[in-house]
């Protein structure tokens, strides 16, 4: 039985899970961490690839034994960790297994923890090689929204400053068992080669929270406590603009200047 509080909507059609994995890959020779494998539909597709190892993190103990059956087929290329992905230290989990720090994340995310997990992986300290993530459509659209779009917001800025982001697949609610109330989409995020230092990433979180927290206000007002008009002028941004008119690159410039 699906547990509502764990956001359980399963993908049981191997054609769909294979397609997600094909579009999210290649994973050849790399480690993949899958969050929330449930009964293992996506896990099976991942194990069919040339990934070196698949580590699944699942919070619902009912799936742990079931997933253990995959060891019969794939041996120690597969391992399941029982735990809460929001609390796991990925770098430590990989080091404990004598694996390199580098790993991809693939997940049909439980909707209630989707955004916090994305922010955790985006802002570090541990950085995935890539992320292939199923979100409810509304969240997927926010991740990839261009400046000026209705969906453009804090998540768009942070995602697009730190990663190349693409919506790679749409999935109707009926593709899941049981079907959720909303449609879904898969987003692929690849961290950019040039990454701002941690201080700048923290400032980016701060400045976007202030700007989009009061998105109807002009920036000179919403960013007052961070430097207001003087800061905006230094960054070459018109103080009467509103958050949704400011590009990810301009937000990054602000984050450098704070």
Structure token digits, residue 60: 């619902």
- Determine if 156 is a binding residue for ligand SAM (CB under 6 A): no
Q: Which stretch binds ligand SAM (CB under 6 A): 6-14, 90-98, 210-218, 243-251?
A: 6-14
Least distance CB 9 / ligand SAM (angstroms): 5
C-alpha atoms less than 13 angstroms from C-alpha of 53 in its C-beta half-sphere: 17
- Torsion angles phi and psi, residue 184, rounded to 5: -130, 170
| By CB under 6 A, residue 186 contacts ligand SAM | no
Two structure tokens written together for 157: 């800025």
Binders of ligand SAM in range 86-105 (CB under 6 A): 86
74 touches ligand SAM (CB under 6 A): no
Distances (CA, A) of 242 to 148, 182, 217: 10, 30, 6
Here's the x/- map for ligand SAM, 8-47, by CB under 6 A: it reads as xxxx-----------------------xxxx--xx-----
Could you tell me the CA-to-CA distances from 23 to 15, 16, 106, 145 in Å, in that order?
12, 11, 11, 20
* One residue of 47, 67, 70, 85 binding ligand SAM per CB under 6 A: 85
- The residue nearest ligand SAM at its CB is 36
6/74 with CB nearer ligand SAM:
6
CB of 195 to ligand SAM, least distance (A): 26
Indicate the residue among 25 and 41 with the shorter CB distance to ligand SAM.
41
Say which DSSP state 148 is in. Answer: T
Residue carrying structure tokens 């998105």: 215
Task: Give the C-alpha separation, 124 to 161, whole Å.
Answer: 14
- Which secondary structure element, helix H or strand E, spans residue 108, and what is its range? strand 103-108
Which residue is it, tokens 């955790």? Answer: 120
> Residues 6, 74, 190, 214: which binds ligand SAM (CB under 6 A)?
6
Contact footprint for ligand SAM (CB under 6 A): 6-11, 35-38, 41-42, 57-60, 84-86, 108, 110, 113
């Amino acid at each position: 039985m699906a547990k509502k509080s764990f956001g359980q909507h399963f993908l049981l059609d191997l054609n769909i899970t294979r397609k997600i994995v094909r579009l999210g890959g290649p994973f050849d020779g790399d480690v993949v961490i899958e969050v929330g494998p449930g009964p293992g539909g996506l896990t099976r597709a991942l194990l069919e690839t040339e990934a070196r190892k698949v580590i699944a993190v699942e919070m619902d103990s009912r799936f742990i034994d079931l997933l253990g059956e995959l060891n019969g087929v794939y041996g120690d290329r597969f391992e399941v960790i029982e735990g809460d992905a929001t609390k796991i230290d990925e770098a430590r989990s990989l080091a404990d297994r004598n694996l390199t720090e580098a790993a991809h994340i693939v997940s049909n995310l439980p909707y209630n923890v989707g955004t916090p997990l994305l922010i955790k992986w985006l802002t570090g300290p541990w950085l995935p090689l890539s992320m292939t993530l199923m979100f409810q459509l509304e969240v997927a659209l926010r991740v990839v929204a261009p400046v000026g779009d209705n969906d453009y917001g804090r998540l768009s800025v942070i995602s697009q400053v730190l990663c190349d982001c693409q919506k790679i697949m749409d999935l109707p609610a009926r593709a899941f068992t049981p079907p959720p109330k909303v449609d879904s989409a898969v987003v692929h995020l690849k961290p950019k080669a040039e990454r701002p230092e941690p201080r700048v990433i923290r400032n980016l979180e701060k400045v976007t929270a202030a700007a989009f927290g009061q998105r109807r206000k002009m920036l000179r007002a919403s960013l007052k406590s961070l430097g207001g008009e003087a800061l905006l002028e230094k960054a070459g941004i018109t103080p009467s603009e509103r958050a949704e008119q400011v590009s990810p690159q301009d937000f990054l410039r602000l984050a450098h200047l704070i």
